[in-house]
Amino acid sequence: MRIRVGHLYPDYLNIYADRGNIAVFERRASLRGHELAVEAVGLGEKLRPGAQDLLYIGGGQDREQALVAADLQAKSDAVHAAVADGVAVLAVCGGYQLLGRGYHDLRGVDLPGVGLFPHETVAGDRRMIGDVVLDCELEPGERRTLAGFENHAGRTQLDPGAEPLGRVIAGFGNDGESGYEGCRVGRAIGTYLHGPLLPRNPWLADWLLAQALAHASGDEPQELEPLPDRLETEAHAVSAQRARDRGGRL
């Protein structure tokens, strides 16, 4: 099957090797006989209705976020419509912030957000950097761990009742205090974990691919055929152990 990916602002939001997430999607889809068709969606370009099964937006520094924020807000209706239609989303770091209601940077500038995720972000004066491990439950009764790397000054506050991506076992997470990391709205996932995220968390890559395939086919998500993930499992274990050795929140 052909999985259509809309990669938002790859020329701007591409810090910390987040492009590697696309490479993981391509490889894991290909090993199962599927084709990944990636379309860059840049400044001034529209998100065409029905043209994507998965949307991806990576991270950037304040300068790059400021360059794309207004253009992304202009795509707000299209993003909301896509998610309502069942399109999967992975938003990382700066992209995660901009898919909330907005980001207040250190210069006092308010960057508009899309409002997909129920949160707001304010820049802090101390960066939260290091390995992090989360406890996640994307499917009822299926608890998994996510391991990654975070490097952000933004403090993201989820609205009451919002669904986080996971609970922080070790690391900082959204704000260094709440014990939550990321946010989930249906098939849309936002997170501060990058470096990139998916090579050491193949189960999350497969979950997102399954959601995208469900959208492409019009069926319910199906469990994907397992792959031999020995190296990926080792990478996950090393990252998770580094986070546990590092300790807790602020």
- Residues composing the chain: 250
Alpha-carbon span 109 to 170, nearest angstrom: 31
DSSP-assigned letters across all residues of 21-43: HHHHHHHHHHTTT-EEEEEEE-T
pTM (whole model) above 0.75: yes
Alpha-carbon span 120 to 117, nearest angstrom: 9
How far lies 237's CA from each of 88, 137, 232, in Å?
Answer: 27, 18, 9
Q: Where are the alpha helices (DSSP H) in the chain?
A: 20-30, 62-74, 76-84, 94-98, 202-217, 230-246
Alpha-carbon span 208 to 109, nearest angstrom: 33
Q: What is the mean pLDDT of residues 185-202?
A: 96
* pLDDT tens by residue, 33-72: 999 999 999 999 999 999 999 999 999 888 899 999 999 9
* pLDDT tens by residue, 137-183: 999 999 999 999 999 999 999 999 999 999 999 999 999 999 999 99
pLDDT score of 16 more than 90 = no
Alpha-carbon span 108 to 39, nearest angstrom: 34
Alpha-carbon span 196 to 179, nearest angstrom: 22
* Residue in the block written with tokens 């993981």: 24
Architecture of domain 2-246: 3-Layer(aba) Sandwich (3.40)
Chain-centre distance of CA 77, in angstroms? 19
β-pairing, 54-57 vs 88-92, is: parallel
Whole-number pLDDT of residue 250? 53
Burial status of residue 44 (CB atoms within 10 A of its CB: 0-12, 13-18, 19 or more): exposed
Give, as one character, the DSSP assignment of residue 227. -
Q: What is the mean pLDDT of residues 19-41?
A: 97
* pLDDT tens by residue, 65-106: 999 999 999 999 999 999 999 999 999 999 999 999 999 988
- Specify the higher pLDDT residue, 105 or 230: 230
Sketch the domain layout of the chain as residue ranges: 2-246
What crossing angle do the helices spanning 20-30 and 202-217 adopt, rounded to 10°? Answer: 70
**Assign residue 14 a region: left if phi > 0, alpha if psi is -120 to 50, beta otherwise?**
alpha
Backbone angles phi, psi at 24, to 5 degrees: -65, -45
pLDDT band at 249 (very low <50, low <70, confident <90, very high): low
What residues are annotated to the active site?
Answer: 93, 194
